[in-house]
Amino acid sequence: MDARGIGLDDEKPRALDEVSDTLGQFHVIVSLEGPMGNYLDEIPFRTVVLHWDIPSPPGADAAPEEATARIEDIYKAIAHEVRELMETLRG
């Protein structure tokens, strides 16, 4: 993420930049690690829950080249899913 200019130090989940006022009516929860039931007891009303099959992060014992390649795969997978989601929401 640093290579993409995105620092993650002390970051928490936050909304993407506003794309359109009309998107404010949509509530989407995305799970990157397993079923949402593992994290939330109840899903809020009018909320869509998605599970994205994202590659797992490299282990601590991964070689630097392997770690870099796996992180790039994760970035590409998330970027693809976000693009698909935004296209779906825009219609």
Residue 50 pLDDT > 80: yes
Look at residue 75 and give its three-state secondary structure.
helix
Confidence of residue 21 (pLDDT cuts 50, 70, 90): low
Cα(69)–Cα(51) distance, integer angstroms: 23
Full-model pTM: 0.65
Query: Residue 38: its pLDDT value, please?
Result: 76
b/e 15-33 (16+ beta carbons within 10 angstroms → b): eeeeeeeeeeeeeeebbee
Residue 2 pLDDT > 70: yes
Domain limits of the chain? 2-90
Torsion angle of C-alpha atoms 34, 36, 40, 41, degrees rounded to 10: -110
Tokens of 42: 């109840």
Higher-pLDDT residue of 69, 21: 69
